[in-house]
């Protein structure tokens, strides 16, 4: 283990700074330990500063390096205390919060928020006309979040879970929470309930009724009402999906019916032995599963008494196989279902052509194909829906029969309980791999720094950044919602934090190599400001990129962006406060006994007397020795000034030799590379622009081949009922009486909103009555709307019919008391509100709500042609069509603020917000990178080069994702935010290093300097991130897989962009004096204001000192010229 460089010893004592803390030079009367005194008693000039004074940052760096342990421990203790306070008093808990995955604060979101408040509280509001308690509460208090599923805002992952019934409202497992947290549509599971009860004819009903009383049947003594009740589809039963192994096979063939029957019997036996299925009167026999086998038993003679082989024989002998094979039974039914059946509207009312006992879950959506094959089918076992039973079934799932020669099956429940339970185990495994990626970061830091001490400090810097960011997130930013997504930011932080450590260490090493005789304080004055500036630039751009993603109106993504941005900022602060003092301790240690200060700094609160460092008393005793060594010191300083470049060739490490060879190739091929880079950028931009939005809000956390549970989900989408469900459209609503808005905390799903009443709504006027009465007829005459049920009437039309009926034959007390004999609409304005309110109370009309005897809100529903899983373009077109039609209506005053809304359009809004956020945050990141580079480099050309490079990184990664078929869904949008945050760092390091050489220097010299000074740090950071991403590629959950892929591709393209695109631009077109244009512009601006603008001299180096080598060479050249002139004169 070696330090950055060995200090040059003078009389066994490390030389201290030549300057005082205030930057002034010591006098010859001061003690010798404050400088090196020559023979005449003058202080020798510093090898770092020459004769100039250090600036403010250099003085502070020297101050920190003079007492590094004190700075280190004070910073460590204070930051640790703040972090602990934040975690304890901020109520931190490891949790998966399933809420918030909807847009908020947008036009569409505000509309649906108000509609949901009315719809969810309609029963309470309906009976609150006089008391006004519910109305007052809704309009004056922000309601609790509608997604809150328990009283604990942050559901704890590690707390023991109580067994509950598995349902949409009871989220009981870690996997269940994580699955729901990644899903957009809160009603999706409700919409995907597996099946509806099959319709049975009288013969089949009698058959069921007889078999439960007939000895020797499979259903003897069984309650067969299970097959005709909502219990069949409403509860979570075991529901395997089956598919044929050969495309030419069909489940209507006898061999497949026999095999399916035998497989069901094997599974049924396991369920019976463990008491997991609904039994008959004997307490042992379970109800038969509903499937094609059950349909066949109902169809053939005495089917409930037959064995599987006999059933298959009877199916063939009675001609059922031939009938179904020739589609004489199902073909017309399926055609009619696809033609005019609407699942939402028609429900159980199937076309007359459908056979009795049939439901679309028995066959697949491709039936009837030209060969009339049925390749997918399903079975619903009569299992108990208690969650404890479901957990037991999950444990036994691998032992269930899954087919043999002709078919194969995949098991899960109707509510996907198995896939969610499997996520419990898999999530912990994948998280351990993610932790392994952090371990790779530690190894990379150890290899690069070659110091356990610096590695531990670097890890402490990264780890402490998390609680500090949480403290600021909770108490300063006042954000209460902490989604699980925030934890993913830790792995981003490890990559970015390691980058800061590498930059700090390399800057220190470079300074020590450049000034081998300088003191630790002087090296700190060189390295710390330079490294702090470089890290500050990348920190600024990265944090702004993450903060820019906070424009997203989806709370988890917004909170994630803010939290990760804060972690990046605090990581930078911890690097300055911890790593730099640690480097000073490292540098001051003695080569032969380095471990002293590494691990044993107990005395650091006073003054670190470590590893050969002399105490003040010892230093004073050695003043004479130091004075006697002045001559040798001057020689050492002189040798540092005349540092021979040839000798450094032998000191070049492997990485520098490789980079120099790379520079040679880059210089040789620069013009062809420039053309290739330009073409690649254009091609990537074109391909990236073709990225599409997903057609479904269901975010799957497994791939199909990962397990049978995900196969079950994928296969079930092939069933006919799924196709009918998708074709059926969705339910939308038109509402009057509320104003769009959301008054709650948009960043906290646990807060909803107040109800915002539209005080201008007044349906009692004659014009409003006529308009509202005729509105629905006009609305439903358009192609975009259908009635939700046969005979459905809007509230105003139903009220009008009631008036007409009561006027001819009064049977209602409400009519005779409050309606003043009205025969139809319009009626008396004075009586309208009271009459309509009492009508609603009498007929229990919950769509019309009154407050203090005044009609306050009113809405009706309709079937829309689009669903949440329709293509984004279709949803957008339908939204615009409806919006245009609503605005075109000439509504009278009092009824002119209606709007339409639906959950599906809310999904469309959320999905669109994701796309907008991706492009907006990309623009913010690029603008921030450009501004930072322009501010730091004062070079318009470098700013353009860096912006082009960042654009290349973004578009190239996006193009690669498009090429492999990715869409811009929820996970992809989250990962795109991470991509933007880490795509700027490498190029900013190079741009900053390019401008370090002040004044005029060739573009080749600047490019080589940037490559050699920052190349090792960039490669080390890239290797660290690359290694972390490589480990995470072995995860199973798709979120972690995609995270690793995006991280992997971003590192590759960032390296290509910085090392090839940016350096090619600089070596071909880079400015030799980057700041020239800005300097001249500033000079003119200052001149207009009557002030002078100092342009730094050409011979000023990166720290402002005079370049002695250039000055000396120029002096020698001038002397030679003068000598020649004098010789000519003498001749």
pLDDT digits (tens, 9 = 90+) for 695-750: 665 667 787 777 888 888 888 888 887 777 777 678 899 999 999 999 999 998 88
Task: Give me the pLDDT at residue 1114, please.
Answer: 44
Higher-confidence position of 75 and 174:
75
pTM of the entire predicted model: 0.75
Task: Give me the pLDDT at residue 178, please.
Answer: 39
What is the distance between the terminal CA atoms of the chain, rounded to a whole angstrom? 65
**Cβ-contact 966, 908 below 8 angstroms:** no
pLDDT band at 171 (very low <50, low <70, confident <90, very high): very low
Task: Give me the pLDDT at residue 350, please.
Answer: 75
pLDDT band at 207 (very low <50, low <70, confident <90, very high): low
Q: Cβ–Cβ contacts within 10 Å for residue 607, how many? A: 14
Q: Which of 254-258, 351-355, 438-442 tops mean pLDDT?
A: 254-258
Average pLDDT of the chain to the nearest whole number: 77
CA distance 483 to 560: 7
Region 134-158: mean pLDDT is 66
Q: Which two tokens stand for residue 638?
A: 């002189």
pLDDT band at 40 (very low <50, low <70, confident <90, very high): very low
**Cβ-contact 1021, 498 below 8 angstroms:** yes
Peptide bond into 368 cis (omega under 30): yes
Task: Give me the pLDDT at residue 233, please.
Answer: 67
Taking CA atoms, 675 is separated from 687, 1002, 1072, in Å, by 18, 22, 22
| Positive or negative: CA dihedral 414, 416, 421, 426 | positive
Taking CA atoms, 561 is separated from 103, 106, 340, 489, 977, in Å, by 15, 19, 47, 9, 8
pLDDT digits (tens, 9 = 90+) for 436-494: 777 888 888 888 888 889 999 999 999 999 999 999 999 998 898 888 778 777 777 88
Task: Give me the pLDDT at residue 1079, please.
Answer: 74
pLDDT band at 14 (very low <50, low <70, confident <90, very high): very low
Task: Give me the pLDDT at residue 793, please.
Answer: 93
Task: Give me the pLDDT at residue 1063, please.
Answer: 94
pLDDT exceeds 60 at position 152: no
**Cβ-contact 789, 734 below 8 angstroms:** no
Task: Give me the pLDDT at residue 629, please.
Answer: 35
CA distance 417 to 423: 10
pLDDT digits (tens, 9 = 90+) for 650-686: 446 788 889 999 999 999 999 999 999 999 999 999 9
pLDDT exceeds 90 at position 125: yes
pLDDT exceeds 60 at position 239: yes
Q: Which two tokens stand for residue 920?
A: 């907006």
CA distance 954 to 968: 14
Task: Give me the pLDDT at residue 981, please.
Answer: 65
Task: Give me the pLDDT at residue 322, please.
Answer: 67
DSSP assignment, residue 558?
H
Higher-confidence position of 692 and 217:
692
The answer for 889, left when phi > 0, alpha when psi is -120 to 50, beta otherwise, is beta
DSSP string covering 748-761:
-TTB-----B-TT-
Q: Which two tokens stand for residue 464?
A: 């402490």
Q: Of 1039, 1041, 1021, give the one whose Cα is nearest residue 1031.
A: 1041
Task: Give me the pLDDT at residue 474, please.
Answer: 92
pLDDT exceeds 50 at position 605: no
CA distance 1020 to 1002: 28
pLDDT band at 58 (very low <50, low <70, confident <90, very high): confident
Region 984-990: mean pLDDT is 84
**Cβ-contact 979, 957 below 8 angstroms:** yes
Region 68-83: mean pLDDT is 92
CA distance 1107 to 998: 10
pLDDT band at 572 (very low <50, low <70, confident <90, very high): very high
CA distance 165 to 187: 18
Instruction: Name 850's bridge partners.
Output: 855
CA distance 766 to 774: 12
**Cβ-contact 982, 543 below 8 angstroms:** no
Q: Of 6, 4, 15, give the one whose Cα is nearest residue 632.
A: 15
Task: Give me the pLDDT at residue 50, please.
Answer: 65
pLDDT exceeds 60 at position 623: no
Higher-confidence position of 1058 and 2:
1058
pLDDT band at 262 (very low <50, low <70, confident <90, very high): very high
Q: Of 342, 360, 344, give the one whose Cα is nearest residue 187.
A: 344
pLDDT digits (tens, 9 = 90+) for 997-1046: 777 888 999 999 999 988 888 888 888 888 877 887 888 888 778 888 88
Higher-confidence position of 589 and 957:
957
Peptide bond into 826 cis (omega under 30): yes
pLDDT exceeds 60 at position 411: yes
CA distance 237 to 425: 22
pLDDT digits (tens, 9 = 90+) for 279-298: 776 677 888 888 888 888 88
Task: Give me the pLDDT at residue 1075, please.
Answer: 78
Task: Give me the pLDDT at residue 225, please.
Answer: 72
Q: Which residues contact 1020 (CB under 8 A, 6 or more apart)?
A: 444, 448, 498, 502, 506
pLDDT band at 1121 (very low <50, low <70, confident <90, very high): very low
| Positive or negative: CA dihedral 841, 847, 848, 851 | positive
């Amino acid at each position: 283990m070696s330090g950055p460089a060995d200090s040059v010893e003078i009389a066994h004592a490390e030389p201290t700074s030549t300057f005082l803390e205030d930057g002034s030079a010591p006098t010859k009367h001061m003690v010798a330990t404050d400088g090196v005194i020559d023979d005449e008693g003058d202080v020798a000039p510093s090898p770092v500063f020459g004769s100039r004074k250090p600036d403010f940052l250099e003085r502070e760096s020297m101050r920190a390096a003079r007492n590094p342990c004190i700075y280190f421990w004070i910073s460590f203790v204070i930051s640790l205390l703040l972090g602990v306070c934040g975690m304890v008093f901020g109520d931190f808990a490891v949790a998966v919060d399933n809420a918030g995955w909807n847009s908020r604060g947008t036009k569409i979101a505000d509309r649906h928020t108000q509609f949901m408040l009315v719809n969810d509280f309609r029963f309470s509001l309906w009976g609150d006309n006089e008391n006004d308690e519910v109305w007052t509460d809704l309009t004056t208090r922000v309601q609790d979040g509608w997604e809150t599923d328990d009283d604990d805002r942050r559901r704890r992952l590690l707390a023991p879970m109580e067994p509950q019934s598995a349902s949409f409202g009871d989220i009981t497992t870690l996997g269940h929470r994580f699955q729901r947290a990644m899903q957009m549509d809160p009603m999706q599971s409700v919409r995907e309930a597996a099946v509806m009860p099959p319709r049975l004819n009288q013969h089949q009903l009698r058959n069921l009724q007889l078999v439960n009383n007939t000895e020797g049947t499979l259903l003897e003594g069984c309650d067969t009402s299970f097959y005709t009740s909502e219990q069949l589809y409403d509860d979570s039963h075991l529901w395997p999906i089956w598919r044929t192994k050969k495309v030419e096979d069909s489940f209507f063939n006898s061999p497949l019916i026999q095999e399916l029957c035998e497989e069901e019997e094997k599974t049924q036996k396991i369920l019976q032995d463990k008491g997991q299925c609904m039994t008959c009167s004997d307490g042992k026999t379970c109800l038969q599963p509903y499937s094609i086998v059950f349909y066949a038993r109902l169809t053939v003679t005495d089917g409930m008494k037959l064995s599987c082989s006999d059933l298959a024989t009877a199916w063939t002998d009675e001609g059922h196989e031939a009938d179904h094979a020739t589609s004489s039974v199902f073909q017309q039914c399926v055609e009619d279902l696809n033609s005019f059946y609407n699942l939402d509207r028609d429900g159980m009312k199937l076309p007359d052509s459908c056979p009795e006992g049939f439901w679309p879950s028995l066959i697949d959506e491709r039936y009837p194909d030209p060969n009339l094959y049925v390749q997918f089918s399903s079975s619903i076992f009569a299992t108990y829906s208690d969650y404890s039973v479901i957990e037991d079934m999950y444990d036994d799932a691998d032992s269930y029969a899954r087919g043999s020669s002709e078919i194969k099956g995949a098991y899960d429940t109707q509510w996907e309980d198995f896939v969610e339970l499997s996520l419990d185990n898999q999530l912990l495994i994948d998280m351990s791999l993610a932790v392994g990626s952090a371990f790779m970061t530690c190894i990379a830091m150890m290899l690069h720094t070659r110091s356990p001490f610096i590695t531990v400090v670097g890890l402490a810097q990264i780890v402490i950044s998390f609680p500090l960011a949480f403290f600021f997130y909770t108490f300063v930013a006042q954000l209460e919602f902490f989604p699980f997504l925030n934890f993913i930011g830790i792995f981003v932080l490890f990559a970015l934090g390691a980058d800061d450590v590498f930059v700090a260490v390399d800057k220190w090493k470079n300074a020590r190599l450049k000034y081998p005789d300088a003191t630790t304080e002087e090296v700190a004055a060189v390295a710390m400001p330079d490294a702090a500036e470089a890290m500050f630039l990348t920190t600024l751009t990265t944090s702004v990129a993450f903060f820019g993603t906070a424009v997203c109106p989806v709370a988890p993504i917004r909170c994630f962006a803010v939290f990760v941005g804060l972690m990046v900022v605090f990581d930078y602060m911890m690097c300055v406060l911890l790593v730099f003092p640690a480097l000073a301790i490292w540098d001051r240690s003695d080569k032969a006994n380095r471990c002293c200060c590494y691990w044993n700094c107990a005395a650091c609160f006073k003054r670190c007397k470590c590893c050969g460092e002399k105490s003040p008393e010892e230093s004073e005793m050695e003043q004479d020795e130091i004075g006697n060594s002045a001559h040798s010191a001057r020689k050492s300083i002189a040798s540092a000034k005349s540092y021979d470049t040839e000798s450094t060739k032998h000191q070049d490490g492997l990485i520098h030799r490789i980079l120099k060879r790379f520079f040679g190739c880059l210089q040789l091929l620069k013009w062809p590379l420039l053309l290739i880079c330009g073409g690649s950028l254009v091609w990537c931009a074109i391909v990236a622009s073709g990225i599409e939005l997903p057609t479904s809000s269901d975010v799957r956390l497994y791939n199909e081949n990962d397990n049978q549970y995900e196969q079950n989900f994928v296969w079930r989408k092939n069933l006919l009922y799924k196709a009918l469900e998708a074709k059926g459209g969705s339910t939308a609503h038109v509402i009057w009486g509320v104003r769009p808005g959301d008054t709650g905390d948009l960043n906290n799903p646990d807060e909803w909103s107040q109800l915002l009443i539209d005080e201008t709504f007044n349906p009692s006027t004659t014009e409003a009555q006529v308009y509202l009465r005729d509105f629905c007829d006009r609305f439903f005459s358009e192609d975009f709307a259908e009635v939700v049920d046969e005979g459905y009437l809007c509230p105003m039309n139903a009220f009008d019919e009631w008036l007409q009926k009561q006027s001819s034959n009064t049977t209602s007390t409400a009519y005779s008391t409050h309606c003043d004999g009205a025969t139809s609409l319009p009626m008396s304005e004075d009586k309208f509100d009271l009459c309509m309110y009492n009508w609603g109370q009498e007929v229990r009309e919950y769509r019309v709500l009154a407050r203090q005897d005044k009609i306050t809100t009113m809405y009706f529903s309709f079937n829309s042609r689009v669903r949440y899983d329709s293509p984004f373009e279709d949803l957008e077109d339908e939204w615009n069509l409806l919006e245009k039609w609503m605005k075109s209506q000439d509504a009278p005053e009092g009824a002119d603020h209606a709007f339409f809304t639906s959950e599906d359009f809310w999904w469309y809004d959320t999905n669109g917000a994701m796309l907008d956020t991706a492009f907006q945050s990309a623009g913010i990141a690029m603008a921030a990178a450009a501004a930072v580079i322009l501010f730091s480099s004062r070079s318009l050309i470098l700013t353009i080069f860096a912006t082009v490079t960042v654009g290349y990184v973004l578009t190239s990664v996006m193009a690669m994702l498009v090429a492999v078929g990715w869409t811009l869904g929820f996970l992809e949008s989250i990962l795109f935010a991470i991509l933007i945050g880490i795509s700027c760092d490498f190029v900013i390091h190079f741009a900053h290093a390019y401008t370090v050489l002040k004044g005029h220097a060739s573009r080749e010299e600047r490019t080589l300097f940037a490559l050699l000074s920052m190349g090792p740090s960039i490669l080390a950071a890239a290797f660290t991130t690359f290694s972390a991403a490589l480990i995470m590629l072995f995860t199973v959950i798709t979120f972690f897989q995609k995270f690793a892929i995006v991280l992997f591709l971003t590192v590759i393209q960032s390296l290509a962009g910085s090392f090839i695109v940016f350096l090619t631009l600089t070596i071909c077109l880079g400015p030799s004096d980057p700041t020239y244009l800005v300097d001249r512009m500033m000079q003119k601006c200052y001149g207009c204001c009557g002030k002078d603008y100092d342009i730094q001299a050409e011979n000023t180096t990166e720290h402002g000192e005079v370049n002695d080598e250039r000055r000396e060479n120029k002096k020698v050249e001038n002397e030679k010229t003068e000598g020649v002139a004098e010789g000519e004169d003498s001749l």
